[in-house]
Amino acid sequence: MGRTTPENVPAFPLYVIDYDDANETAKLDGVPVEPAQGVNLAEAATQAAARKAQAHGLDAVRVRIRSALGEEWTMIVTVDGETIDTTPTPESQQKKPLIRPATILVGAVITLGALGGGTALAVHLSTDTDPDQNAVPAWETPGAGEQIPVGLPEGFTGPSDWSVDINSDTSVTGLDDGGIITANSDGILSIRDPETAEPVWAGTGAPQDLSEIHESTWTGQPVLGSYSRGNLNLWALEEVTPGDAVAPEQVPVAHEADILWEGDTPLVSLGDFIVLVPNDEGVLTEVTIPAGSEPVSAVEGEAVSLGPETIYRTGIDGEATSTDFTAPESVEGPAETFWTIGTDALVLAWSAPDSEDSPVIAVIDQETGETIIEEPVEQLPNESAEITSNGDSQRAVIGTLAVRYDDDPSLNEIPAIQDPVIFGNTLYGNTTDGPTLVNLGRPDDGAQPYATFTDEDTAPLVVADDAVYVVAPRLDQTILYRAATETPGENADEVSADETDTEETAQDEQED
């Protein structure tokens, strides 16, 4: 192994050592460090990091040290136990807070420089320095050209563009801008460049299920958000230095609250027509929505709620505006349940009043109250059914109901699909018979299986216009693969939102 410098050590993985000098305890990624006879605690922690790096097949790894006093600094540890201090200067640590300190519990980050080098741990753990210690290491795309051990839907092919080891206990999800979110076993959340798999952002405290993460905004800034244990967790999507990660800032809310994520910002529903909407400074502010209405989302700083025939928007100042809509003539009373498609539409449902009638679905434009489509259906989705939508193609799936809400709207019943992903005019997912897809332009064709290698193969977790992302186990690892399209831009049967319209028209003409 050549000389280790910060330039040739990847930004991730990032190990964390929690060091309590007063109580003489240390933990490496949550595992207690037990010093051998004659070895002090600081040396034992360094050796533990070196052994873990070697077990992971790394020559060197980046490590963050956290003291019981809230102090924090970073270094590099090689498999030989050598260390390099990479703690940024105090000036590089200064950041504008996402939320006012009065509203949340925020741990201060204090650099080694700010402490004047006065901690014993810094002396023991990091003695070497480098003038270019903060330089970004060159990234090499991992796992390119590997065989993909999962059957792929038509239009996509191996070998892999790249592949990375991920945490088997989490999932993978995609962002609106194409970034891919993964997490590792140390709870580090990463946004990866879709072309190279390079982590371009990282955060600590990843949730167990990445599907719980939502893109949102807070104080006008883009964030990733989730909810757990009575807290909103908000990660600022700001630039991070190599080896660094953004800690989620937490906003306490009541444990019994419901969090609605479909709007511009999260909306907290407390019941009894009381909701909380964040103001421009990130303070959750109580808003009373009109009696008889149900909370929907927070849009442009206002609480959106749904009444029997009215969509309300109530500002933080308590002023409410209303937009009326017309319920279907065949129904009586307010919708029995509804689902929200982003900020675009509301899907309202009424069950059949007697056995001779059919349930009714109406799709309403959220902003104008205009009825996009209303039709009877054979069966309503389960009230707890999750909604999957794609705003680009204006398609949504609620349980076994496919909704098209563009200029040529339609409602169609489809087979039950697990882990659904919509791209263009195609729904990908899993059934008891294996991975499958549904052409939403021809829903009557049902679910179409495709060739797989094993019975355990699963459908893609993310689908884009130039690739799909699939996961497969390999011995004791779980690998995420990127598989490219066979002919980018010409994937005619699978990904176009409108190309099947011609087929539908031709079929209708033949039937007539």
Question: With 90 as the cut, is the pLDDT of residue 320 above it?
Answer: yes
Question: With 60 as the cut, is the pLDDT of residue 180 above it?
Answer: yes
Q: How far is CA 401 from CA 134, 140, 397, in A?
A: 52, 44, 6
Question: In sequence order, what are the residues at sequence separation of 6 or more whose Cβ sits closer than 8 angstroms to the Cβ of residue 2?
Answer: none
Question: In sequence order, what are the residues at sequence separation of 6 or more whose Cβ sits closer than 8 angstroms to the Cβ of residue 284?
Answer: 103, 251, 253, 268, 276, 277, 278
Residues 215-241 have pLDDT tens digits of: 999 999 999 999 998 899 999 998 877
- The secondary structure element, H or E, covering residue 492 is helix 492-495
Which region, left, alpha or beta, applies to residue 129 given φ > 0 means left and ψ of -120 to 50 means alpha?
A: beta
Question: With 90 as the cut, is the pLDDT of residue 438 above it?
Answer: yes
Question: In sequence order, what are the residues at sequence separation of 6 or more whose Cβ sits closer than 8 angstroms to the Cβ of residue 425?
Answer: 393, 395, 439, 440, 441, 494, 495, 496, 497, 498, 499, 500
CA nearest neighbour of 239 among 95, 390, 412: 95
pLDDT of residue 495: 42
Contact 394, 405 (CB under 8 A): yes
The answer to whether the predicted template modeling score (pTM) of the entire model surpasses 0.95 is no
Domain residue spans of the chain: 6-125, 143-165+435-512, 169-236, 326-413
Considering the chain, what is the average pLDDT of its residues?
Answer: 83
Structure token pair of residue 461: 């977790």
What is the number of residues in the chain?
Answer: 512
Beta bridge partners of 61: 77
Topology, domain 169-236:
Thrombin, subunit H (2.40.10)
Residues 293-303 have pLDDT tens digits of: 999 999 999 99
Give the pLDDT band (50/70/90) at residue 509: very low
Measured from the Cβ of residue 123, the count of other Cβ atoms closer than 10 Å reads 11
Question: With 80 as the cut, is the pLDDT of residue 118 above it?
Answer: no
Question: Which strands make up the sheet holding 434-439, listed edge to edge?
Answer: 418-423, 426-431, 434-439, 448-449
- The secondary structure element, H or E, covering residue 59 is none
339 compared with 245, residue with greater pLDDT: 339
Question: With 80 as the cut, is the pLDDT of residue 465 above it?
Answer: yes
For residues 341 and 339, what is the distance between their CA atoms, to the nearest angstrom? 7
Cβ-in-10-Å burial (0-12, 13-18, 19+) of 374 comes to buried
Question: pLDDT > 70: what percent of the chain?
Answer: 84
Among 233-247, 369-383, 467-481, the minimum mean pLDDT is found in: 233-247
CA nearest neighbour of 142 among 10, 305, 282, 322: 10
Cβ-in-10-Å burial (0-12, 13-18, 19+) of 494 comes to buried
Pure H helices in 314-386: none
CA nearest neighbour of 46 among 86, 88, 79: 79
pLDDT of residue 111: 29
What is the distance of C-alpha 210 from the center of its chain? 5
Residues 404-414 have pLDDT tens digits of: 999 999 999 99
300-315 burial, b at 16+ Cβ within 10 Å, e below that, comes to ebbbbbbbeebbbbbe
Structure token pair of residue 341: 């498609």
Beta strands at 14-20 and 60-67: parallel, antiparallel or unpaired: parallel
Question: With 70 as the cut, is the pLDDT of residue 104 above it?
Answer: no
Give the pLDDT band (50/70/90) at residue 14: confident
For residues 280 and 434, what is the distance between their CA atoms, to the nearest angstrom? 47
